[in-house]
Chains A and B, each alone.
Chain A
């Protein structure tokens, strides 16, 4: 009893410390008022504007021109530590036109299944993560490509930043990008958790004496009003070198901000697509367009399903021998 209490106290202290560190680090920013940052953004990052939701006629036009497709992927792992696990990947492209079939694709990764690599570096977590990311973005791009072929939509909303496709699956990405450009299909990424530091970097540039390393996420928290958007100037955007245009926007009453990417050649549509994202986001939500939430929900491989699949289609002996970890048996 006493022991537990002591550990507790320790943890409390650690967390208190973290809080203090963050507070110190950001004190210079947090002490600035909202207007200061808004001015700064307007001057150095890009204009802040207020969006209007798209009206029904506009949306009906999208419907007539093939609807909007949402693309998302998901992954789930079963088993223990390397190499005794199996990872399932599933991608889904779902059109808002209800008569169009959903496109599902799946893939699987297990260190046991790929030719046994003798490279001990393979075990490295980073390599594993990279592999995982590649498989996930591959499958997302594959369903998107298939969707371009079969759904012929007006636009495609990808879940997450487009930039990671450059990083993990450059070939497939090039293919998708090219096809979309040829067919005039708008290709958009919706980023729920922005990870860039565009504003922070600019702050450092303009005010060198501000010694901070801040990300856009925390800087923009509560800065925009509901429905406001920042069109990031291409010169400022880090993504420009990858040929993307981006915006930040506050799409719901939640104070967090999301990002939208579009490929550079379709830059003229970024306002329209931002408005679509805004329209599809429930006012009292976390800021994610409902369509992507629906796709996410459908594509997810739950633990129950995963377990069911393994139990049904794998010999019990194999399953036990390879994939049941001590942890699973614990409860």
Chain B
């Protein structure tokens, strides 16, 4: 292997007659005038001057090549391998053409590849194309993981990619980008598994209900780690919610505004009517009564209601309404009051106000991974409240420490969310965005970090994207997203060109902590997503189950003549309380006969269905 062609201080070409190069491979350049040059292959090409065989315009057929092979000449051996190599550090002078090239030993690249011990970092996968160097690797880095390839599980052959989680203190926040099916969700799962292993307090916003870690992946006979007591799935409105009494007017406005923005008048209504320590019921009641009073139209009509009240209770209620009407009608327009009442009602129906977030806090205190599930709209509402609440708890604690006063301990934590562009969209404001933005900008100081996954990095708020110091970039096909990635990461032109063709699970890790981009493969997840069953398999399975149930029902009734169907229907209804119509039952029987589960014969009285012989 030698340096060939024109060289610069940053880039060289390397040629070899015997060894093919792989992208992202490391090579040592033995330039006699400067030491310690190391480069990474950014483009690999092969070239055979005889193939395509257009020697003097002739097309060469394979039989002649076959004959030449019999004579001892294999044309493939004329292949030349060429690699474009980028130096890791700029050289002082352009590299000497003709310099020798060799493969590095593990010890020479260890510091570049491994930044953390396996028990302190996140063991996320392997660095691709490092198997040559990995052979001389110390045992502590061997056999840490499996990767999942086309033909099943594969033992680790390459250098492990261990993310230094401590470096997040200097280089906070992680972005995970990639189109659907690119391995993004699996990558996120593996990150979460590692966070659980390290017992790092984590909140996961899970709009897809997929971050459940209780099932082991089918490809492992025995899961190597049990996550059962390391995580908890909580559904908004069912397990967790907002404690209304703890809300400030601002919190409440955020909640109400999370789904769609409040008008100024609506904000005004909340400010005027809401009192700290109001319970949901008292607040809702106040608004509701005001609305009813306003619906009467004017004070005379309300007074008429008072006069004509059928009972003492009703009279009192209308008196109350009158009071509210008198004090608020001028400042709170009817339409705005009504808007607030509807929104409040909707949140209540979602169950948000029925629970609190104590369980989440406790989980974090014990270093658990708390998975918050709910549909996107509810999560938007709830996360706004949740994140600002937790973040400020952590912040208060740290500030108190700084001021040397005392405050309740709250641990540092990581916030993880898929579909992050829904929580922090570019171009318009949303309540959850402001808290995510705050964490992205200041969270580092307080030990609050973000891991934001999205398939549309273009739609994610730019200020936040700029704060993501480590980015995992999976296969991306959309041109606009590739453009965003180009702008936001240090991926080279060659690397961005490869983005649409990456295999599922292969990822570029652009990391400020590493100072360069690593091409890695995410390891096989230990746990499995609950959504891995193929929906088409599911249909088939479901079909078979249906058939089985039906066969069990009619088993004892066979043989069935098509004249007896009416009696049969009555019988079935009595025994199994399942109702068929004559048509549907006949259809079903025909279908079974077609599938070969029953035999059908023609008699003079019509069809008859029998058991198979």
Interface residues of A in 79-99 (CB under 8 A from B): 95-98
Q: B59 at interface (Cβ–Cβ under 8 A)? A: yes
Q: A310 at interface (Cβ–Cβ under 8 A)? A: no
Within 8 Å CB of B52, what residues of A? none
User: How far in angstroms is the closest Cβ of chain B from A147?
Assistant: 15
Per-residue CB contact flags for chain B residues 53-72 toward chain A (1 = under 8 Å, else 0) read 10111111101111110111
Cβ-defined contact, A279 with B67, below 8 A? yes
Given A297-B49, A297-B55, A290 contacting B71 (CB threshold 8 A): no
Given A279-B64, A279-B67, A294 contacting B55 (CB threshold 8 A): yes
Cβ-defined contact, B59 with A282, below 8 A? yes
Cβ-defined contact, B71 with A62, below 8 A? yes
Within 8 Å CB of A290, what residues of B? 53, 55, 60, 64-65, 68
Q: A173 at interface (Cβ–Cβ under 8 A)? A: no
Chain A interface residue count, Cβ-Cβ cutoff 8 angstroms: 27
Q: State which of A53-61, A125-133, A159-167, A316-324 sits at the interface with chain B.
A: A53-61
Within 8 Å CB of B49, what residues of A? 297
User: How far in angstroms is the closest Cβ of chain A from B95?
Assistant: 19
Within 8 Å CB of B64, what residues of A? 279-282, 290
Q: A286 at interface (Cβ–Cβ under 8 A)? A: yes
Cβ-defined contact, A56 with B67, below 8 A? yes
Chain B interface residue count, Cβ-Cβ cutoff 8 angstroms: 22
Cβ-defined contact, B59 with A60, below 8 A? no
Within 8 Å CB of B71, what residues of A? 59, 62-63, 67-68, 96-97
Cβ-defined contact, B67 with A59, below 8 A? yes
Cβ-defined contact, B72 with A97, below 8 A? yes
User: How far in angstroms is the closest Cβ of chain B from A55?
Assistant: 9
Residue of A nearest to B60 (CB): A282
Q: B342 at interface (Cβ–Cβ under 8 A)? A: no
Q: A226 at interface (Cβ–Cβ under 8 A)? A: no
Within 8 Å CB of A288, what residues of B? 56, 58
Cβ-defined contact, A56 with B58, below 8 A? no
Cβ-defined contact, B74 with A98, below 8 A? yes
Cβ-defined contact, A54 with B67, below 8 A? yes
Taken together as a complex, chains A and B put the C-alpha atoms of A65 and B66 apart, in Å, by 18
Within 8 Å CB of A279, what residues of B? 64, 67
Cβ-defined contact, B73 with A285, below 8 A? no
* Cross-chain contact of A59 among B50, B70, B74, B77 (Cβ < 8 A): B70
Interface residues of B in 410-463 (CB under 8 A from A): none
Per-residue CB contact flags for chain A residues 212-242 toward chain B (1 = under 8 Å, else 0) read 0000000000000000000000000000000
Within 8 Å CB of B63, what residues of A? 53, 283
Interface centre among A53, A56, A282, A291 (most CB of B within 10 A): A282
Cβ-defined contact, A98 with B67, below 8 A? no
User: How far in angstroms is the closest Cβ of chain B from A71?
Assistant: 15
Q: A284 at interface (Cβ–Cβ under 8 A)? A: yes
Q: A101 at interface (Cβ–Cβ under 8 A)? A: no
User: How far in angstroms is the closest Cβ of chain A from B56?
Assistant: 6
Per-residue CB contact flags for chain A residues 241-280 toward chain B (1 = under 8 Å, else 0) read 0000000000000000000000000000000000000011
Q: A293 at interface (Cβ–Cβ under 8 A)? A: yes
Cβ-defined contact, A286 with B56, below 8 A? yes
Interface centre among B58, B70, B71, B73 (most CB of A within 10 A): B71
Residues in chain B within 8 A of chain A (CB atoms): 49-50, 53, 55-61, 63-68, 70-74, 77
Please name 14 further chain A to chain B contacts, defined as beta carbons within 8 Å, in addition to the given A63-B70, A95-B72, A290-B65, sorted by A numbering.
Answer: A53-B63, A53-B67, A67-B73, A97-B73, A98-B72, A284-B58, A284-B59, A285-B60, A286-B58, A290-B55, A290-B60, A293-B55, A293-B58, A294-B50
What are 23 sample pairs from A and B whose C-beta atoms fall under 8 A apart? A53-B67, A54-B67, A56-B67, A56-B70, A59-B70, A62-B71, A63-B70, A95-B72, A280-B67, A281-B64, A282-B53, A282-B58, A282-B64, A285-B58, A285-B60, A286-B57, A288-B58, A290-B64, A290-B65, A290-B68, A297-B49, A297-B50, A297-B55
